[in-house]
Amino acid sequence: MSKPKFAMYWAAACGGCEIAVLNIDEKVLDLDANFEVAFWPAAMDVKYKDVEAMEDASILVTLFNGSIRTDENEHMARLLRRKSRILVAFGSCANEGCIPGLANLSSRESLFERVYQANATSPSTENPNNLRPQASSQVPEGTLTLPPLQAVIRTLDQVVEVDYHVPGCPPESRQIAAVLDALIAVVKGEAELPPKGAVLGAGNSTVCDECARKRDVKQIGKISRIQELPPLATDVCLLEQGLMCAGPATRSGCDSRCPNVGAPCIGCYGAAPGVLDQGARLMTAIASVVDANEPDAIDRVLDGIPDPAGSFYRFSLAHSLLRANRAALAEKP
């Protein structure tokens, strides 16, 4: 009896999702016992052309992590969509753009400038000849090509249809294990597939809901960064202690790991259920607790957030209502 096929792929991602899958320890043996791994660049050597040669819909499930930044990413998204019966947007990048998505606040040209310009603002740039990567370049051995960068980052579901979503940066290993268990139960005929579009491996509430810190004061007079504050109370809400915490707008499922150890939630599980735009919800929450009513006084408190778009949309910019800066969106794809 041949086993159903499993694939995992990374597009514009950091590799953390792959590590998180390996962190399920011996559970990975269950994966191997129930599936044939058909394609997984981080774990085994299968070439793109091998995937292209596979029959359409012959892979049962593909975990796709990473967002769509280059033509290569898009090609692989389309290819794997065609080859997979179930395509899972796995991790924050694939679902909401994550940190790479923050590049959507800048035009492509300004990204290249920042990174490659000789006297660039980036302190680590040393490029006296102003060399830039080219989509195609000639060398004695022939032509070398690089996949062109697209104007903006897109999430997987902005490029192809997605069947399920597993959020998190990266998804918690215990949640990954639970998702795999559920899949294996389906393969064995012991369970049904969840409805298409379901969010798997996460909670149905907010991080605040899971967080044990006490909330009483509703007003904050100053927003600081964690290194600017004296040691914090261990049992009081971090937002009330003057830190920007994304808990009120973020989906639960991580067991509020960051606030538990004194670091504010940064929003990696994406928008909470029913929230259309994570950043907008966070703006609502933060503005509500600012203890000032006069425009100047309000601005003084809000000056504690030097990069509002980056703070409110740290993980979900590419999937937000606006998606990107206007100039970036206006560029040719």
Partner 1 sequence: MSALDNTNTFEPVIIGFTCNWCSYRAADLAGTSRIKYPPNVRLIRVMCSGRIDPTFVLKALSDGADGVMIAGCHPGECHYLEQNYKALRRHRLLQKTLAQFGIEPARVRLTWASAAEGALFAQEIATMVDEVKQLGPLNWPARPVPVGSVPAEIPVLSEVGA
Q: Using CB under 6 A as the criterion, which residues of the chain lie in contact with ligand SF4 when the complex forms?
A: 207-208, 211, 213, 215, 237-239, 245, 247-248, 256, 259, 264-265
C-alpha span between 95 and 13 (Å, rounded): 11
Rule CB under 8 A: say whether 157 interacts with partner 1.
Answer: yes
What distance lies between CA 214 and its chain's CA centroid?
A: 29
Using CB positions, name the residue nearest to ligand SF4: 247
Options 21-29, 118-126, 258-266, 300-308: segment touching partner 1 (CB under 8 A): 300-308
Look at residue 213 and give the partner it binds from ligand SF4, partner 1, none, a contact being a CB closer than 5 to 8 Å depending on partner kind: ligand SF4
Dmax over Cα atoms in the chain, in whole Å?
72
C-alpha span between 91 and 98 (Å, rounded): 9
β-strands 59-65, 36-39 pairing: unpaired
Give the number of other Cβ atoms within 10 Å of residue 57's Cβ: 12
> Left (φ > 0), alpha (ψ -120 to 50) or beta: where does 198 sit?
beta
Cβ 260 vs Cβ 217: under 8 Å: no
Rule CB under 8 A: say whether 158 interacts with partner 1.
Answer: yes
Rule CB under 8 A: say whether 322 interacts with partner 1.
Answer: yes
Cβ 179 vs Cβ 31: under 8 Å: no
Options 13-21, 25-33, 150-158, 224-232: segment touching partner 1 (CB under 8 A): 150-158
Nearer to ligand SF4, 19 or 217 (CB): 217
Of residues 6, 290, 304, 315, which one binds partner 1 by CB under 8 A? Answer: 290
Rule CB under 8 A: say whether 214 interacts with partner 1.
Answer: no
Rule CB under 8 A: say whether 96 interacts with partner 1.
Answer: no
C-alpha span between 111 and 269 (Å, rounded): 26
Of residues 29, 118, 144, 193, which one binds partner 1 by CB under 8 A? Answer: 193
Look at residue 283 and give the partner it binds from partner 1, ligand SF4, none, a contact being a CB closer than 5 to 8 Å depending on partner kind: partner 1
Those residues with Cβ within 8 angstroms of residue 324's Cβ, 6 or more apart along the chain or in another chain: 104, 105, 152, 153, 317, 318
Rule CB under 8 A: say whether 165 interacts with partner 1.
Answer: no
Helix (H) / strand (E) element for 39: namely: strand 36-39
Interacting residue ranges for partner 1, rule: CB under 8 A: 1-5, 56-57, 60, 77-78, 81-82, 85-86, 105, 154, 157-163, 186-189, 193, 196, 276-277, 279-281, 283-284, 286-288, 290, 292-293, 295, 298-299, 302, 305, 307-310, 312, 320-327, 329-330
